[in-house]
Amino acid sequence: MSQKLEFVYNGVMKISRKKGFSLVELMVGIVILGILAAVATASYRIYLSRSKMSEAYTNLDLLTKSQVSYFVQHKEFCFFGPKPRRVPNSKLPFQSEPGEVNDNIVMTEWGRLGNPIAFGSQLAFAYTGGAGKTKGNGEAIFRGISNPEGQNLNENSLSSGWTYAGGVLQDGENCTNSPISVESYVQTTGKPHYNWSILMAVGNLKLNSNNLCTQMVKILDTTSDGSVDTSKPVHVYSEGE
């Protein structure tokens, strides 16, 4: 209890008493502030995660539209290597990366697709796409890394074709996800002149302390009449990782 001397107008002096906070009350206040700070931090991290996921959905939609346009012109889908070449820990720009192997080829592939993601865009996800088709006899053809003119098709069986384990992180560590295989999504048996594309977005949202990465997969393929089906939903794995 603190005491303070005060003078009033009639010259009479009085003592006013003001009560301070006890140690227990201060400790309770600190605990409450700590809880509020923890809740606010978690909510902010979730907000950032959702914002980055929104980016991925938007860019997968852009890539879908670009693949449809490419298919209309070339009667097959476009293969394009990952950009950025490393999975961002926070964000990385979409740009040329001369220090990465075959980056000139990857840039050419994105150019054939029309560069649907603007140069210089800061990205929280890395994006890539596989593509393939079947011959008239049903034999599967997988498009792999192509030359600058985009002329070659690698005639591998689908089972030895395109897989993607999640990518290399910005700091050089690897995403620890299990590989995503074409076979998990695409069935070519009994489908002559069938075309497909698998689009992937891979991000490291870091809501947990492991190296699992968030993977988002979108499948495009052709129907029996040769038109492109874009209605398949985006599959999300390890969301928030």
Mean pLDDT by 10 residues, the chain (241 residues): 48 56 77 73 64 91 96 91 87 91 89 94 91 82 53 44 62 76 80 90 75 89 93 86 64
Angstrom distances, CA of residue 84 to CA of 97, 210, 221? 8, 21, 25
The radius of gyration of the chain from alpha carbons, rounded to an integer in Å, stands at: 28
Helix (H) or strand (E) holding 148: none
CA neighbor of 129 nearest in space, from 144, 141, 117: 144
The domain segmentation of the chain, as residue ranges, is: 52-237
What does the pLDDT look like over 128-170, one tens digit per residue? 988 888 888 877 777 655 443 444 444 444 443 445 555 677 7
pLDDT at 14: 54
CA distances from 46 to 56, 122, 205, 206 (A): 15, 19, 10, 10
Q: Which of 171, 163, 87, 164 is nearest to 125 (CA)?
A: 87
State the pLDDT at residue 182: 76
What is the C-alpha to C-alpha distance for residues 241 and 237, in angstroms, rounded to an integer?
9
